């Protein structure tokens, strides 16, 4: 539903067939679309008209996080249900024992996620000077590697792992000591992602690994890691604070295991595929019966 013509099409089909819509919002694109450019005011008005029409045609709306559901209920009224991504449950393993602690990031480097990843790499280099060893392995999409790889070339603590195929993601997560999620601190990225719960967070939690989250304090993904006890959150781009947080995790395997256990429990409680499918089916049945 990211463009006015798609919203118009959905609304007209719903009206013609007399069936309700169940929209799913994964980030706050509704507040960020058409910010500038030719005819942006006209495009924005058209978008807002068809967005509200789609909301009028929906009994229940879904969001990617609790934070977004709360915000959208206040913003638009009506009922919003939180539906984060779900994960098939799988067996986890103890984190590997190795002299150099491995941090692993798997995901897109946009919007500007390469910036906090680079900061982590620079902080790891500083810790290495004190004998605290850690490396960050980055897996991302081929197009992101072409665009952003140059920003990591002077960071010895960052290893480019290439692109992780879907079949390898789980084994890569289990081979890590710490899984990393980041959000950019720049204003445009903050507006877009502040209510989003990244699709990788449930995967990280189900793997039963401690999570390091770096990004703005208001970002839902960053808060979720901290509030659930699944890892630590660094909500500033201050290098000294980041170094301190990394030192805690790299030097304390007991702390990592505690966070890892809580991560797994959160995944089983909130992101189990079987339970979430049943919840979704119940909502669709409810909407259909109305």
Q: What is the pTM of this model?
A: 0.90
Structure tokens of 126?
A: 């500083």
Is pLDDT of 162 > 80?
A: yes
Structure tokens of 33?
A: 């679309």
Please report the pLDDT score of residue 82 as a whole number: 95
Q: Read off the pLDDT of residues 145-161 as tens digits, 9 standing for 90 and up.
A: 999 999 999 999 999 99
Is pLDDT of 290 > 80?
A: no
Q: Read off the pLDDT of residues 172-231 as tens digits, 9 standing for 90 and up.
A: 999 999 999 999 999 888 888 889 999 899 999 999 999 999 999 999 999 999 999 999
β-partners of residue 158 are: 136
Is pLDDT of 53 > 90?
A: yes
Binned at pLDDT 50, 70 and 90, residue 39 comes out as confident
**Pairwise CA distance, residues 121 & 83, whole Å:** 33
Q: Are strands 101-106 and 61-63 parallel, antiparallel or unpaired?
A: unpaired
Report how far apart, in Å, the C-alpha atoms of 27 and of each of 7, 40, 83, 192, 197 are. 16, 20, 12, 6, 8
Structure tokens of 50?
A: 């068809």
The conformation of residue 175, written as its DSSP 8-state character, comes to: T
The predicted model gives 251-270 an average pLDDT of 97
Please report the pLDDT score of residue 189 as a whole number: 85
Please report the pLDDT score of residue 1 as a whole number: 72
């Amino acid at each position: 539903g990211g463009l006015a013509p798609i919203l118009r099409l959905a609304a007209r089909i719903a009206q013609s067939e007399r069936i309700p819509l169940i929209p799913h919002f994964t980030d706050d694109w509704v507040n960020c679309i058409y910010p500038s450019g030719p005819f942006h005011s006209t495009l924005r008005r058209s978008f807002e008209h068809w967005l509200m029409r789609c909301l009028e045609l929906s009994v229940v709306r879904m969001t990617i996080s609790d934070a977004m559901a709360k915000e959208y209920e206040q913003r638009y009224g009506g009922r919003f249900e939180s539906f984060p991504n779900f994960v098939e449950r799988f067996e986890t393993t103890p984190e590997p024992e190795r002299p150099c602690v491995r941090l692993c990031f798997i995901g897109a480097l946009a919007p500007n996620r390469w910036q906090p990843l680079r900061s982590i790499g620079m902080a790891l280099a500083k810790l290495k000077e004190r004998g605290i060893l850690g490396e960050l392995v980055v897996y991302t999409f081929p197009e992101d590697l072409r665009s952003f790889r140059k920003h990591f070339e002077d960071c010895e603590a960052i290893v480019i792992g290439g692109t992780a195929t879907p079949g390898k993601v789980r084994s890569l997560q289990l081979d890590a000591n710490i899984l990393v999620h980041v959000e950019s601190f720049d204003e445009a990225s903050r507006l877009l992602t502040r209510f989003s719960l990244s699709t990788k967070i449930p995967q990280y939690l189900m793997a039963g690994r401690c999570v390091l989250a770096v990004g703005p304090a208001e970002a839902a993904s960053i808060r979720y890691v901290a509030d659930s006890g699944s890892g630590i959150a660094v909500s500033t781009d201050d290098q000294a604070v980041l170094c301190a947080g990394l030192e805690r995790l790299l030097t304390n395997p007991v702390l990592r295991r505690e966070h890892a256990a809580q991560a797994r429990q959160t995944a089983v409680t909130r992101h189990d595929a079987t339970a979430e499918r049943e919840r979704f089916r119940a909502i669709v049945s409810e909407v259909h019966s109305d």
